[in-house]
Amino acid sequence: MSMLSVEGLAVSRGGLPVLEGLSFSLDAGHALVLRGPNGVGKTTLLRTLAGLQPALAGTVSMPPESMAYAAHSDGLKSTLTVRENLGFWASVYATNDIEPALKRMNLQSLETRPAHSLSAGQKRRLGLARLLVTGRPIWVLDEPTVSLDTASVALFAEAVRGHLANGGAALIATHIDLGLNEAKVLDLTPFKAKTPEEGGMQGAFDEAFL
């Protein structure tokens, strides 16, 4: 069954169309890896799917309240401890049990440390642990493995696999090989939007001023 389906989607950044004519669908238990050079619009696409910005054209359909979004920055509060940071998101998503997530991301020994004393990789692991406490079936991840070492990447791949096995789905924008051999790969380069001079779509003009 298709959890997330995208049809004819066009997205814009700063008023200029970056991607157009994008269609794909994502089934439960599957992962889709987005690839493409810098600036092709991976982040813009993911922000559009997460509902942070409107699409220029096309439709996105998924069950309501089903998506967990993880951006470049982890949204951690540096003066709160690992446990407090994670506990906050758990109560926002009304799941409340953070122990499995701490264990999964190997954060148990760090749980009383304030977030500002964590290394970049440890912060990232905490940011990814947030996904586990959301309880949402569709993960939308933007460069999830930045600053993770190989062991942590493997840990993360294991967490994604566990999520897929539980009937979840994941959409991951990344440059490196996650070791998720079962994941399909979608290269965004062919969907690059034409400029208006080449007869492409006109972006919303006033957006450039926002």
Partner 1 sequence: MIALLMRDLRLAVRAGGGFGLGLAFFLIVVTLVPFGVGPEGKILARIAPGILWVGALLACLLSLDRIFALDYEDGSLDLLVTAPVPLEGVVSIKALAHWITTGLPLVVAAPVFGILLHLPQGAHVWMVISLLLGTPALSVLGTFGAALTVGLKRGGLLLSLLVLPFYVPTLIFGAELVRRGAEGMNTETPLLMLAGITAATVALVPFASAAAIRVNLR
Site for partner 1, rule CB under 8 A: 50-54, 65, 67-80, 84, 87-89, 91-94, 130, 207, 210
Pick between residue 47 and residue 163 the one whose CB is nearest to partner 1: 47
The distance of closest approach from Cβ of residue 177 to partner 1 in the complex, given in angstroms and rounded to an integer, is 25
Pick between residue 145 and residue 180 the one whose CB is nearest to partner 1: 145
End-to-end Cα spacing for the chain: 39
For the chain, the three-class secondary structure string (H helix, E strand, C coil) is CEEEEEEEEEEEECCEEEEEEEEEEEECCCEEEEECCCCCCHHHHHHHHCCCCCCCEEEEECCCCCEEEECCCCCCCCCCEHHHHHHHHHHHCCCCCCHHHHHHCCCHHHCCCEHHHCCHHHHHHHHHHHHHHHCCCEEEEECCCCCCCHHHHHHHHHHHHHHHHCCCEEEEECCCCCCCCCCEEEECHHHECCCHHHCCCCCCHHHHHC
Tokens, residue 170: 């994941």
Supply the Cα-derived Rg of the chain in whole angstroms: 18
The distance of closest approach from Cβ of residue 199 to partner 1 in the complex, given in angstroms and rounded to an integer, is 26
Pick between residue 13 and residue 180 the one whose CB is nearest to partner 1: 13
Pick between residue 84 and residue 158 the one whose CB is nearest to partner 1: 84
The distance of closest approach from Cβ of residue 171 to partner 1 in the complex, given in angstroms and rounded to an integer, is 14
Pick between residue 37 and residue 75 the one whose CB is nearest to partner 1: 75
The distance of closest approach from Cβ of residue 83 to partner 1 in the complex, given in angstroms and rounded to an integer, is 12
The distance of closest approach from Cβ of residue 90 to partner 1 in the complex, given in angstroms and rounded to an integer, is 8
Which amino acid makes up residue 73? S
Tokens, residue 202: 């006109």
Pick between residue 70 and residue 157 the one whose CB is nearest to partner 1: 70
The distance of closest approach from Cβ of residue 10 to partner 1 in the complex, given in angstroms and rounded to an integer, is 15
